[in-house]
Structure 1
Amino acid sequence: MPGTTLSPAVPTARTGHRPVLVLATLLSCQLMLVLDATVMNVALPRIQSELGFSATGLSWVMNAYTLVFGGLLLLGGRAGDLFGRRRMFVAGITLFTVASLVGGFADSPGWLLTARVVQGIGGAAAGPSTIALLTTTFTEPRARIRALALFSGMSSAGFAVGLIAGGLLTQWLSWRSVMFINVPFGFAAAVLATRFVAEPERRPARLDLPGAMTATGGVAALVYGFIRAASEGWSDGPTLLSLVAGAILLVTFVAIQARSAAPMMPLRLFADRNRASAYLNFFLGPMAAMSTFFFLSQYLQKVHGFDALGTGFAFLPMALLVFTISRLIPRLLPRFGPKPLALAGTTAMVAGLVLLSRLGVASDYFPALFLPMVLMGLGMGLAFAPLNVIIMATVSDHDAGAAGGVLQTMQQTGATLGLAVLVTVFGTATRHATGSPSQMLVAGMTPAFAASAAIAGVAFLVALTFRRVLPQS
């Protein structure tokens, strides 16, 4: 209700059994999964030189993880309903941790990409159960909003914090340490979950393998098509075939969900207008933001000569703002509702990305980079931190696993497709460009930032559809 303020203190769990440890375990898992989507960005130049990736092939270091992660999240959510959410959480985080350990020893592109794929499988098993366990553990409305706000803050800030952590680890140790760092935290989360996280009551469910195959195959085909277009052009036969196949598979997936008695993505989740809008913006937000992380980390190192540590700290203004605003969401969302926050946030994002599209080889960090990063931090915090709460605060326990799976699927699929589209824009812009490597990088990334600004503009239009309905407490 208007004027209500909610303290961001740690909420109390339904069981009353070590709620701080339960919350810390689940938030640590989420932070690790989100960090892994961006922590590699700062290390990309070193990975490229050491393992021999091509300029466009380098994007697969990111996409191999986010593609599998996003493509299998719906199946992971349903598997949690079927086999037990805590069991899937523990199994997934363990697999993710082992893959991180193995990937840290990679000596070839194939080895690293295989490890990233297995990380994605583990993340897809653990991710939906993470938010579902949070929702079913903290059932009192005010406590659930607080817990979800903390979860949202961890998710949003994790994207930017990953760049800082990646810079520290790459500079002080090596790029391999960004894989190894997952090992102690992953095993600790698995052990603590086994001991302190309660297993919710299982509900009748079945695995929807046709749905999983069409969803994963459709996204994979689209990503492959966009990335191939970056190097081969839009008239290339395999490129067009892949894009058409991806679209057909995704349409087939929606048709399967509409007719299934036990869908992985229940279409009733989209019946509420605020939830449907939040899902769509959870897709568009990472799609627009990925250009900031992927291209700026290379720009700072290859054009301005920043080391990995300096690159990580260059993103500090963005990270601090996202995290700070995320902590304020329990107060801001009940007071103002989702629409003003989303409109202000997407406006700030559009402004920041437009400024980034004007970068040149000689642009200084202050103000040419500092100001856009401040705007991006404000924008992501205001526009996307409330979305977890909007989606999950009123969902039933029965749909918690599916709702969490769809939420994270939108986020990861948006990031994966966004990066593929932006790499295509980059490749198209630089295919016939001339000049130094720095000039080539700038010539490709500035159109990519302009495309990101257009995507953020669509997110603004979606934000206009939010009702001024406030969370119930």
Structure 2
Amino acid sequence: MSWVVTVYALFFGSLILLSGRIGALVGARRALLTGAGVFVVASLAGGLASSPGMLIAARAFQGAGAALAAPSVLVLLTAITKPGPQRARAMALFVLATASGAAVGLIIGGLLTGAFGWRSVMFVNVPIGVAIIAGGMFFLQELPRQSQKLDAGGAFTSTLAMAAAVYGFTVMADEGVTHPPVMIALSVAAVSLAALIAVERGNPAAVMPLSFFSSLRTAGPLLAMLLIPAGQVCYLYFTTLVTQQRLGYTPLQTGLVLMPYTLALILSNQLTPLLVTRHGERLIGSVGIGGLTAGITGMAWAVYDSTAVTALILPSIVLGISAGLTFAPVTGMIMRQAPDGNSAAAASLLQGLQQLGGAIGLSVVIGGGHSYTGAFLTTALFPLIALALFTGGALRIDPLTATSKGQS
């Protein structure tokens, strides 16, 4: 059962960097439609699976299809929107779709499994995927394709590095850092990363352009997007443990406890485009990341000082509001600062770091063997470091409206 979950994350995470370059070569629209098609066929095969091996294989192809499609969404959004309020709104809707999709998927998945069995969770993806493909064919125009050849060295080393890192940190959460497969995987990841850097140096068609890391101003938001999901995943994980193990709540009741977080995120997400347009991505993103740090610290105090579920509500609301203020500005800044012709690589790197960040966060915090209070305090360090990285590269705030207003 664990591999049904792990294999999807493994294939998605390992292929995400490569998929951005493939999308740039074949066209973002074509990559999106092809990835969605692979996901649909894999979902159908998973629903019809007659053995565990078939189901795991289907999940692997789901991950591969999702990896091919995911970066193209951000590339297309960036290409068809104008800088300013329109793009800020698009990024906010992208974040809202991602966050609400994950939450709604958990609820609907439970309902479908209870009513129709586990196969229905696979089958339900088929009509949704077909609708995505039809909509993409009718409403999206293809973007110009790049003429460079595929970077074979970067493709191999990036795939190996991400696969080893995702596997290593995922298993590390359960087995610990001294588990031999974990040590081997993380060693392979480190060597592959070093090889990737060597291969990509001076490569104009790099899978992972090193120019992203030429200064803290461009690298800061990317590194922040590695750490912010680490904090979010740990918050959700340990809040679930507190409500179920300490308070004795059912999974459904736990879901209701998390509703204030979700509703606060949706509400603040709707206000974010206006705030970003007026005050800039860096300022609003910084406020959001600071709020994440405060909210997770508040959770540490709540589980230390009280056993009542009401004590968890206020920190959860702070976290939800802060998450809504964080992801759209940080995502928008990463895409805006991408060097010319590298928006697909930026989208791939962004989503790859998010995937890796969640695995790193759980492995670090769980491996520490903390109490609930200690776990939340350790989790709060992730957004705190992210805040330093995100703000450290800027000597001044740079609102989207700076050009029109003559500000800097």
Short-chain TM bin:
0.7 to 0.9
Which residue of 386, 389, 395 maps to 1:462? Answer: 389
Matched, 1:453 2:377: no
Give the direction of change, closer, same or farther, for the CA distance of 1:303–1:94 in structure 2 (3 Å limit).
Answer: farther
Q: Secondary structure at the match of 1:386?
A: helix
Residue identity in the other structure for 1:134 = L
Q: For the residues of structure 2 that align with 1:357 and 1:167, how far apart are their CA atoms?
A: 29
- Contact kept? 1:287, 1:418, Cα under 8 Å: yes
- Contact kept? 2:282, 2:399, Cα under 8 Å: no
Matched, 1:195 2:122: no
Structure with greater proportional helix content:
2
Matched, 1:220 2:149: no
Give the direction of change, closer, same or farther, for the CA distance of 1:328–1:422 in structure 2 (3 Å limit).
Answer: same
Unaligned runs of 5+ in 1: 1-52, 430-442
- Contact kept? 1:223, 1:420, Cα under 8 Å: no
Equivalence for 1:243: 186
How many angstroms does 1:75 deviate by?
Answer: 1.2
Which residue of 111, 120, 128 maps to 1:185? Answer: 128
Answer with 118-127 or 411-420: which moved more: 411-420
- Contact kept? 1:288, 1:453, Cα under 8 Å: yes
Q: For the residues of structure 1 that align with 2:397 and 2:347, how far apart are their CA atoms?
A: 23
How many angstroms does 1:198 deviate by?
Answer: 0.6
Matches within 5 A, 1:308-327: 308-327=251-270
Matched, 1:377 2:320: yes
Q: For the residues of structure 2 that align with 1:326 and 1:452, how far apart are their CA atoms?
A: 23
How many angstroms does 1:73 deviate by?
Answer: 1.6
Q: For the residues of structure 2 that align with 1:234 and 1:339, how far apart are their CA atoms?
A: 36
TM-score normalized with structure 1 length: 0.74
Q: For the residues of structure 2 that align with 1:114 and 1:420, how far apart are their CA atoms?
A: 25
- Contact kept? 1:214, 1:252, Cα under 8 Å: yes
Give the direction of change, closer, same or farther, for the CA distance of 1:396–1:137 in structure 2 (3 Å limit).
Answer: farther
Give the direction of change, closer, same or farther, for the CA distance of 1:262–1:298 in structure 2 (3 Å limit).
Answer: same
Q: For the residues of structure 1 that align with 2:109 and 2:348, how far apart are their CA atoms?
A: 27
Give the direction of change, closer, same or farther, for the CA distance of 1:107–1:456 in structure 2 (3 Å limit).
Answer: farther
Equivalence for 1:335: 278
Matched, 1:152 2:81: no
Q: For the residues of structure 2 that align with 1:364 and 1:219, how far apart are their CA atoms?
A: 41
How many angstroms does 1:200 deviate by?
Answer: 1.4
Q: For the residues of structure 2 that align with 1:225 and 1:394, how far apart are their CA atoms?
A: 31
Matched, 1:266 2:209: yes
Give the direction of change, closer, same or farther, for the CA distance of 1:231–1:124 in structure 2 (3 Å limit).
Answer: closer
- Contact kept? 1:341, 1:382, Cα under 8 Å: yes
- Contact kept? 1:66, 1:416, Cα under 8 Å: no
RMSD of aligned residue pairs (Cα, Å): 3.1
Q: For the residues of structure 2 that align with 1:298 and 1:114, how far apart are their CA atoms?
A: 30
Give the direction of change, closer, same or farther, for the CA distance of 1:341–1:207 in structure 2 (3 Å limit).
Answer: same
Matches within 5 A, 1:12-411: 53=1, 58=2, 60-104=3-47, 110-139=53-82, 141-170=84-113, 174-230=117-173, 232-271=175-214, 273-297=216-240, 299-301=242-244, 304-357=247-300, 359=303, 363-367=307-311, 369-393=312-336, 395=338, 398-411=341-354
Give the direction of change, closer, same or farther, for the CA distance of 1:448–1:71 in structure 2 (3 Å limit).
Answer: farther
Residue identity in the other structure for 1:198 = Q
How many angstroms does 1:161 deviate by?
Answer: 4.3
- Contact kept? 1:343, 1:460, Cα under 8 Å: yes
- Contact kept? 2:225, 2:354, Cα under 8 Å: yes
Give the direction of change, closer, same or farther, for the CA distance of 1:383–1:138 in structure 2 (3 Å limit).
Answer: closer
How many angstroms does 1:197 deviate by?
Answer: 0.8
Residue identity in the other structure for 2:327 = F
Give the direction of change, closer, same or farther, for the CA distance of 1:63–1:454 in structure 2 (3 Å limit).
Answer: farther
How many angstroms does 1:323 deviate by?
Answer: 1.9
TM-score normalized with structure 2 length: 0.85
Counting aligned pairs with the same residue, the percent is 37
Unaligned runs of 5+ in 2: none
- Contact kept? 2:85, 2:274, Cα under 8 Å: no
Equivalence for 1:471: 400
Q: For the residues of structure 2 that align with 1:471 and 1:373, how far apart are their CA atoms?
A: 30
Q: For the residues of structure 2 that align with 1:232 and 1:290, how far apart are their CA atoms?
A: 18
Answer with 235-244 or 93-102: which moved more: 235-244
Give the direction of change, closer, same or farther, for the CA distance of 1:446–1:249 in structure 2 (3 Å limit).
Answer: farther
